A and B are shown apart, each in its own frame.
Chain A
Amino acid sequence: MLLSEMKKGQTGTIVHVGGNGALRRRILEMGLINGAEIYLEKYAPLKDPLELIVKGYHVSLRVEEAAQITVNSVVNSVKEDLT
């Protein structure tokens, strides 16, 4: 599924980062690489952007950008994990 389809409080693993050019590279450089485990912390009050926890830090992405990222093994997670 796409990262943008994940719900608040779910964890998943990145399997592919799509898109192109600078944006894609930037996403990768921030540690959102294949195999990275992510936790969807929340969506902003206006439903966009969203906040992720990856590699122990918090990062926000727009929904349209998150739609470039494919994830799998998405499960509901206990909040205290993964920080």
Chain B
Amino acid sequence: MHHKSITIALAGNPNSGKTTLFNNITGTRQKVGNWPGVTVEKKEGIVSKHGYDLKIVDLPGTYSLTPFSVEEIIARDYVLEECPDVLIDIIDASNLERSLYLATQLREIDCKVIFALNMADVARTRGLKIDAEKLSELLDLPVVFTIGNKNEGIDTLLQKAIELAESKSEISQKRRVKYSKDIESSIAKLQRSIEKKIAGILPYNTRWTAIKLLEDDRIVKERVVQKAGDNGQDIIQEIQELRKKLIDRFDEEPEIVMTDERYGFIAGIIKEVLTTSTKNRIDISRNIDLVLTHRFIGFPIFIFFIWAMFQLTFSLGAYPMEWIDIGVGGISALFESFLPDSLLKDLLINGIIAGVGSVIIFLPNILILFFCIALFEDTGYMSRAAFLMDKIMHLIGLHGKSFIPMLMGFGCSVPAVIATRTLESEKDRILTILITPFMSCSAKLPVYIILVGTFFSAKAGTVLFTIYIFGIIAAFVSGRLFRSTLLKGADAPFVMELPPYRAPMLKSLLIHMWDRGKMFLKKMGGIILIGSVVIWALSAFPRNIQYSVDYAAEIAGVNALYETKIKASAKASAKASDRSGMQSIQEERDAAIKKIKLAQDAEKMEKSFMGSIGKKLAPLFAPLGIDWRGGVALVTGFVAKEIVVSTMGILYAVEEEEADALQKAIISSGMTPLSALSMMIFVLLYLPCFATIAAIKRETGSFKWMFFSIAYTTSFAWVVAFSVYQGGKLIGFN
């Protein structure tokens, strides 16, 4: 039997437990995507309940439907244009008054609304008693108590939602906010003009449209003018006149008066439905906060949490990373032994498996990091972090919340760039995206480790720390620069709720972690795969290289030479029945051949397209004290920073089995501590990897910012590395 399908949208304030409720309804059957045209996450899930297929859409959490942020515009547009069958407004029962503000706005749109009074248990322990029947009567809509994290009341909620969707009754026009007389008459007037001039074309409720026009809502105004055609100017003029009259009357803009009046309406409801008996409760959350945002120990605790997060990410992550490494090695060895030598085999092993393998290895890191971040978010600590850090972030004109993406940048820039979605202001978002790549990501670490280990082993920790700090300074300097030039404008207001601390739910943490991990994996499937193939092709072609030495002949020569040696030894050992002499000769021969092959690989790389790009760029790198091999390695770092190390390995023709071979090769190539420092700084600052660039494009929605980021980071890196190298030489370092 085919089930009837119903669309249910979930709306509500941030921290109302909306996501928990959504997760509990849909379980793992959810689809995470983006809302069209913007980068806010869209979550959907389909479940079968009570004989219906329910499509559940999780709208972004918002405090109001005033189009300040993308989230609010999305939520509003969805309700207006997609017209879900039922809208569930999830209300934090312990925070009724403020939650009702959004509710009054939802009520103004033509839509069937049902209230879920969530976290009913929290409200009860806080001594809040809500008369649901009265509330239902006053607003003329169904009200259900739910406890999202205990899965209570959800079945009833869905059942009521279905009933409401199926009921034929008209949406109640009464029980809405009634504004004061002058405003109401202006609304009515405007409503009549709208009906007269653009009737039938406008898809929205005319009362709502009139209210929004009086509130000077930019988006609604644009749409109305567009639809009205020739009458557009008339309507604009009428709005202006009405607004002017109201401003004269109230000595205040109408939207301010209306906000006030909505709260007045809410206050009336609160008086009737809410009874409080708060005298004897102990507020655990406030006590926790006394410690966590304490004047003196708040910051040390914060730093400890961050330290613990990174410790967990990198030390715990090291184990699965090793398994993945072994796994990838195994797969590659398997193909190596099974497939005949061919271009395809080369592509598969050295292009695809090596490329994807070098990135998938970061999956454990990313999962752990996101688990920790989800933990911070779900417990409510994240907003405390923003509260602590805001003063510092504000120095570069950013919101305290920007700290989080920047912090994540130490792990991986890709999720960090994506995490900027939590920022409300677009300027903040772009600014944060532009400076986040300066936070030294974990993929850059292998490069530092090789260079620091080679040249600064005595002071490894200090040098490494300095590099990281330097990245932070670069981010701040750039931030200030952008704020005062490209991204001028008022800072986003810091009106941020500090929700009570809550015990996190493992299920929701895992879902969070997995959603973001999936994003990372998807990126690998697409971009990284293509990138790896391109880089492989650049280093594998052209095929017909004119080698400076006839390697094949050399190998044949070595073979021939050892052939006679082996024969001689065979004769000798036949008598003594001693095979060890023979073995050592064979080993010697193999080593000689390997050396020739490595030299051939190095020359092949040098003469490949990649090598010629690197060599062409060599004059650019020379003033930084980086030779052409370093240059080629840096170019390949475009795919992923850790590839810098493996490219250096190939170019310096080192055998993988020898751990310190690369270090020796680097020293003998003439690199000095100063040029190593210059190279590390360049790696720290230069263009972000391919995947990050793709994320920047997606999150800023424009190629302009993407190219700007590439150009800015790279030229900044060059200038700084140049100053370090040349300056260092001047004052006598080398």
Instruction: Name A's B-contacting residues (CB within 8 A).
Output: 21-34, 41-42, 44-49, 51, 55-62, 65, 80, 83
Q: By the criterion CB–CB under 8 Å, are A22 and B259 in contact?
A: no
Contacts A29-B66, A83-B283 given; does A44 touch B495 at CB 8 Å: no
Q: List 5 A-B contacts (CB under 8 A).
A: A33-B259, A41-B286, A44-B387, A51-B293, A55-B95
Q: By the criterion CB–CB under 8 Å, are B256 and A28 in contact?
A: yes
B152 within 8 A of A: no
Using CB atoms, name the residue of chain A closest to B65: A29
Q: Which residues of A contact B63 (CB under 8 A)?
A: 29-30
Contacts A45-B299, A56-B95 given; does A30 touch B391 at CB 8 Å: no
Using CB atoms, name the residue of chain A closest to B68: A22
Q: By the criterion CB–CB under 8 Å, are B494 and A61 in contact?
A: yes
CA distance A62 to B259 in the complex (A): 22
Q: By the criterion CB–CB under 8 Å, are A31 and B494 in contact?
A: no
Q: By the criterion CB–CB under 8 Å, are B293 and A22 in contact?
A: no
Q: Which residues of A contact B212 (CB under 8 A)?
A: none
Q: Which residues of A contact B263 (CB under 8 A)?
A: 31, 33
Q: By the criterion CB–CB under 8 Å, are B94 and A56 in contact?
A: yes
Contacts A60-B494, A83-B283 given; does A42 touch B95 at CB 8 Å: no
Question: Which of A27, A34, A48 has the most chain B CB atoms closer than 10 A to its own CB?
Answer: A48
Q: Which residues of B contact A48 (CB under 8 A)?
A: 390-391, 394
Partner of B493, one of A22, A45, A51: A22
B497 within 8 A of A: yes
Contacts A31-B97, A58-B498, A65-B493 given; does A26 touch B388 at CB 8 Å: no
Partner of A49, one of B64, B101, B387, B500: B387
Instruction: Name B's A-contacting residues (CB within 8 A).
Output: 63-64, 66, 68, 94-98, 101, 126, 255-256, 259-260, 263, 278-279, 281, 283, 286, 293-296, 298-299, 383, 387-388, 390-392, 394, 400, 490, 493-500
CA distance A11 to B45 in the complex (A): 45
Q: Which residues of B contact A23 (CB under 8 A)?
A: 490, 493, 495
Q: By the criterion CB–CB under 8 Å, are B296 and A45 in contact?
A: yes
Q: By the criterion CB–CB under 8 Å, are B293 and A26 in contact?
A: no
Q: Which residues of B contact A30 (CB under 8 A)?
A: 63, 98, 495, 497
Q: By the criterion CB–CB under 8 Å, are A26 and B68 in contact?
A: yes
Q: Which residues of A contact B64 (CB under 8 A)?
A: 29
Q: By the criterion CB–CB under 8 Å, are B391 and A80 in contact?
A: no
- A65 to chain B minimum Cβ distance, whole angstroms, is 6
Q: By the criterion CB–CB under 8 Å, are B260 and A33 in contact?
A: yes
Using CB atoms, name the residue of chain A closest to B96: A56
Q: By the criterion CB–CB under 8 Å, are A49 and B391 in contact?
A: yes
- B632 to chain A minimum Cβ distance, whole angstroms, is 46
CA distance A33 to B255 in the complex (A): 13
Contacts A31-B101, A60-B496, A61-B494 given; does A45 touch B293 at CB 8 Å: yes
- A41 to chain B minimum Cβ distance, whole angstroms, is 8
Q: By the criterion CB–CB under 8 Å, are A65 and B94 in contact?
A: no
Q: By the criterion CB–CB under 8 Å, are B388 and A57 in contact?
A: no
Q: By the criterion CB–CB under 8 Å, are B256 and A83 in contact?
A: no
- A26 to chain B minimum Cβ distance, whole angstroms, is 5
Q: By the criterion CB–CB under 8 Å, are B390 and A27 in contact?
A: no
CA distance A47 to B293 in the complex (A): 11
CA distance A65 to B394 in the complex (A): 13
Q: By the criterion CB–CB under 8 Å, are B255 and A44 in contact?
A: no
Top 4 A-B residue pairs of the complex, sorted by shortest distance between their CB atoms:
A46-B391, A58-B498, A23-B493, A62-B494
Q: By the criterion CB–CB under 8 Å, are A59 and B68 in contact?
A: no
Q: By the criterion CB–CB under 8 Å, are B95 and A57 in contact?
A: yes
Contacts A22-B493, A31-B101, A34-B260 given; does A62 touch B394 at CB 8 Å: yes
Q: By the criterion CB–CB under 8 Å, are A27 and B494 in contact?
A: no
Given A27-B495, A55-B98, A60-B495, 10 extra CB contacts under 8 A: A26-B68, A32-B495, A44-B298, A47-B391, A48-B394, A56-B94, A57-B95, A58-B500, A65-B495, A83-B286
Q: By the criterion CB–CB under 8 Å, are A25 and B97 in contact?
A: no
Q: By the criterion CB–CB under 8 Å, are A25 and B279 in contact?
A: no
Q: By the criterion CB–CB under 8 Å, are A27 and B101 in contact?
A: no
Using CB atoms, name the residue of chain A closest to B500: A58
Q: Which residues of A contact B294 (CB under 8 A)?
A: 45
Q: Which residues of B contact A49 (CB under 8 A)?
A: 387, 390-391, 400, 494
Q: By the criterion CB–CB under 8 Å, are A57 and B497 in contact?
A: yes
- A83 to chain B minimum Cβ distance, whole angstroms, is 6
Q: Which residues of A contact B388 (CB under 8 A)?
A: 44-46
CA distance A65 to B98 in the complex (A): 20
CA distance A48 to B298 in the complex (A): 14
- B323 to chain A minimum Cβ distance, whole angstroms, is 42
Contacts A25-B255, A28-B259 given; does A55 touch B97 at CB 8 Å: yes
